[in-house]
Amino acid sequence: MSMSIEMPAVFARIGRRLPTPLVSLHFVAGLELARRLKWLSPPAELEGRSFAITVEDLGLRNCFTVKQGAFRTVWDGAPAELELGAKLADFLALMRAETDADTLFFQRRLRIAGDTELGLIVKNWLDASPRPAWLQRLSGAGR
């Protein structure tokens, strides 16, 4: 089941005004919860690397790193080694395994910048990560 959501432009204008570390705190809390519930475990190759994920239609930029196998907010504003950007609906489709990063990239719906080798590691990791049952039910998979 594919989802098409158009967010009002006002959300992006507001989101771009929010401090990145404040936005990142919430995002990283979600990543950490997923890690602690064993839904998402970062591979060793991500240790010490920095990332930025921008939900473009919401104007939200999340910056984080992996330290000692855990997700941590980046506070210093340093440039990320890997930047990913897409609309909320496309990120949700990736999470639910309704589509893959290659498809979104070649359809120009996923923006990738920075370290290409790191990007490939992240892509392969996310493609191979199992999705929790509740996420599969939300997507309509298995019906």
CATH of the domain at 57: 3.30.1050.10
Residue type, 139: S
55 neighbors 88 (Cβ within 8 angstroms): yes
pTM to 2 decimal places: 0.82
**Count of domains forming the chain:** 1
CA distance linking residue 6 with residue 112, whole number of Å: 21
Residue type, 56: E
Please report whether residue 143 resides in a domain: no
CA distance linking residue 81 with residue 50, whole number of Å: 5
Rounded (5°) CA angle 123-20-88: 50
pLDDT in tens, 21-74: 989 999 999 999 999 998 889 999 999 999 999 999 999 999 999 999 999 999
Residue type, 13: R
Please report whether residue 142 resides in a domain: no
